[in-house]
Structure 1
Amino acid sequence: MKVDLFDFELPRESIALRPVATRDGARFLVVKGNERSDKAVTDLPDYLQAGDVLVFNDTRVIPARLTGKRGLAKIQITLHMNEGEGLWRAFAKPAKKLKTDDVILFEGGLEATVLEKGDAGEVSLQFNYAGDALREALDRAGVMPLPPYIASQRPVDDQDLVDYQTVYSRKDGAVAAPTAGLHFTDRLIEEIASLGVKIVHVTLHVGAGTFLPVKVEDTEDHKMHSEWGEIDAETAEIINAAHLAGRNVVAVGTTSLRLLESAADESGIVHPFAAATDIFITPGYQFRAVDMLMTNFHLPKSTLFMLVSAFAGYAPMKAAYAHAIASGYRFYSYGDSSLLFREDKL
């Protein structure tokens, strides 16, 4: 499909630079085919029933943006995939100032050697620390990797350390937040659980590739970056049992959805999963595992707007986004939310 089909005009003032005062105080656009309802996130329980399964991504954002020097040259690094033992894939800016075997120096004694250079500014880095020691070094030298559309308009501050992390995050590794989950409070989770909704956790370590623009003209030519995901056997069993009983599986965020769809076979059975996934979902994709999707509002021509168009329908989503813009909904990571019903199940 032509990428331009997923373009739309978004006023600069629609981009949220801070979240609302309370996590669950955001607006909530419910999209069911051509029907739309303006709600609040606190209304989510009205759309859930006992036996449904709500799937959270429990990844935790690390301070993955680093500024260092190679000689006199200033280099910005954004980590995006942990390959173990202090080895990371990352995006470098400006990458043209780096070559293989260069050493980049960061604050606090952290160093990284360039092992390999790839396309689009991607590099492979070997740090002089690994494991917990590297995590501690990142705390000293790194900052929270806010999306470019926020970071370009204001500096990262201490409040972002709280705001850009879900209340249920527990597994270090993401370099971008699973932003749909930012709307949940402990109180809202408890209310949902009290309805008899089953709450499960999966892990997808969101990579910086989620921010990369789609630069090709046709979706068939776009290369997705891999992200590491994991679903354990107990979680897979709960999801499969819910479907067998005719209940809905509700993905909180596109990250949860992509992982569930990566782990599902053609019959819709979700299997335990522990691997990298580069699944790219566009209209025409046949969904297998997810029935409803809670998600924020995404960038024009982004892979995530393509995904929601595949899930809830291209025409309904174009109309929903036009309504959201006209109605003053706040967009992107710190913005408002939506609940989408799968088009082929209406």
Structure 2
Amino acid sequence: MKKEDFYYDLPEELIAQHPMEKRSESKLLHLNRENETFEDCHFYDIVKFFHPGDVLVVNNTKVIPARLFGSRENKEEKIEVLLLKETGQKQWECLVKPGRKMKIGTKIIFSPRLSATVVDITEEGSRIIAFHYDGIFEEILDELGEMPLPPYIHEKLEDKDRYQTIYAKHRGSAAAPTSGLHFTEEILSQLREKGVKILPITLHVGLGTFRPVKEDDILDHVMHSEYFEISEEVAKEINEGKKAGKRIIAVGTTSVRTLESQTDEKGLLKPGKGWTDIFIYPGYDFEMVDAMVTNFHLPESTLLMLISAFANREFILKAYEHAIKERYRFFSFGDAMFIE
């Protein structure tokens, strides 16, 4: 299967540069896989598509202000450091700009409270950086760091909380699970009143989620790995819902990947924590997820390949064509789809 099979032409003005004033007022494109039909709605309409007993699985990861700006020791040249994932005590894998001067042993000064040293370089060219500080690292990050918005967003985010879901809890992501940004407390309350069970899992989103597929044959693409956690209690409740014939509805491709990577050959979700690099593309047989909420994804991305596996590529591209015609907003701060 070729990368070009997942290409579509998107006008640049449809790339959302900022979130909607109210989270739930985004547009929602409802897709029915069986009939291959779609209808235009708003996100606040989503409750009507749920059934009593449905299980809604959300990713409760929290984005850290992972973009830091400093300078090399005794140099004025500015250095940008983007935290990707923690690799050990006080050490993180990071992207750095400019990279060519960031050799092993290079020291970076961010503030009187925070400095760092490059201790290794990975095969992909990212740096392993050891941080030096007094106090609590998370508090220093909150003070000095910026939200790591994707490269296609060029406007400054005024309110950091708008790049967090309302149920964000466990810090560790370098990017938001963006399809969850549309949910409000009011919508979650309406879902609970309807008899929907809402359960949290955690997957810390890495910037690899934005890494383009460079290989022409998608099977040659190497997926990034991301850390996840599923508690025993949540796994038990999801399995009980599945056994009872209830739908498991995942919010976002992050939740989909976590659930599918931890579902065994008997169709049971295994609790646990670890790393997943599951790559879902057309031909994949979904074991756990019955429906999903997702945003509109980049052309030729692994995320577009995942939803094309869920609802067939031709139908998805047809829906995207409709969304472009109807001026939907795309990507992280854009509109959403409900696929069932």
Moved more, 8-17 or 78-87: 78-87
Alignment-derived partner of residue 278 in structure 1: 277
TM-score under structure 1 normalisation? Answer: 0.94
Find the residue that maps to 2:84 and give its secondary structure: strand
CA distance in 1 between partners of 2:56 and 2:278 (Å): 21
CA distance in 2 between partners of 1:228 and 1:257 (Å): 14
Alignment-derived partner of residue 25 in structure 1: 25
Alignment-derived partner of residue 66 in structure 2: 64
TM superposition shift of 1:299: 0.5
TM superposition shift of 1:58: 0.5
Retained in 2: the 8 A contact 1:242–1:249? yes
TM superposition shift of 1:170: 1.0
TM superposition shift of 1:146: 0.9
Amino acid in the other structure paired with 1:47? F
TM superposition shift of 1:315: 0.8
Alignment-derived partner of residue 258 in structure 2: 259
Moved more, 242-251 or 110-119: 110-119
Q: In percent, how many aligned pairs have the same letter? A: 45
User: What does 1:182-221 align with in structure 2 at a 5 Å threshold?
Assistant: 182-221=181-220
**1:85 lines up with 2:60 in the alignment:** no
Amino acid in the other structure paired with 1:104? I
Amino acid in the other structure paired with 1:143? E
Retained in 2: the 8 A contact 1:79–1:89? yes
CA 1:104/1:249 → structure 2, altered by over 3 Å: closer, same or farther? same
Retained in 2: the 8 A contact 1:92–1:121? no
Retained in 1: the 8 A contact 2:18–2:155? no
CA distance in 1 between partners of 2:122 and 2:294 (Å): 31
User: What does 1:1-346 align with in structure 2 at a 5 Å threshold?
Assistant: 1-33=1-33, 34-70=36-72, 71-129=75-133, 133-150=136-153, 153-157=154-158, 159=159, 161-341=160-340
Retained in 2: the 8 A contact 1:110–1:141? no
CA distance in 2 between partners of 1:32 and 1:119 (Å): 43
CA distance in 2 between partners of 1:107 and 1:220 (Å): 44
CA distance in 1 between partners of 2:301 and 2:64 (Å): 24
Amino acid in the other structure paired with 1:163? R
* 1:137-194 CA distance string (max 9 Å, x none): 21122101111110xx22343x2x1211111111111111111110011010000000
Retained in 2: the 8 A contact 1:26–1:40? yes
CA distance in 2 between partners of 1:72 and 1:3 (Å): 42
Amino acid in the other structure paired with 2:44? T
Retained in 2: the 8 A contact 1:68–1:76? yes
TM-score under structure 2 normalisation? Answer: 0.95
Structure 2 gap ranges (5+): none
Retained in 2: the 8 A contact 1:54–1:249? yes
Q: How many residues align?
A: 336
* 1:97-129 CA distance string (max 9 Å, x none): 211121122134311211211244311111114
Find the residue that maps to 1:334 and give its secondary structure: coil
CA distance in 2 between partners of 1:102 and 1:155 (Å): 30
Amino acid in the other structure paired with 1:154? E
TM superposition shift of 1:86: 1.2
Find the residue that maps to 1:266 and give its secondary structure: coil
Moved more, 75-84 or 26-35: 75-84
Runs of 4+ in 1 over 6 A off after TM superposition: none
Find the residue that maps to 1:83 and give its secondary structure: strand
Alignment-derived partner of residue 344 in structure 1: none
Retained in 2: the 8 A contact 1:295–1:337? yes
CA distance in 2 between partners of 1:116 and 1:214 (Å): 26
TM superposition shift of 1:286: 1.3
Amino acid in the other structure paired with 1:149? Y
TM superposition shift of 1:220: 1.9
Moved more, 76-85 or 266-275: 76-85
Moved more, 233-242 or 204-213: 204-213
Retained in 1: the 8 A contact 2:18–2:157? no
TM superposition shift of 1:135: 0.9
Retained in 2: the 8 A contact 1:82–1:88? yes
Amino acid in the other structure paired with 1:103? K
TM superposition shift of 1:298: 0.5
CA distance in 1 between partners of 2:325 and 2:168 (Å): 33
Retained in 1: the 8 A contact 2:250–2:289? yes
CA distance in 2 between partners of 1:323 and 1:256 (Å): 26
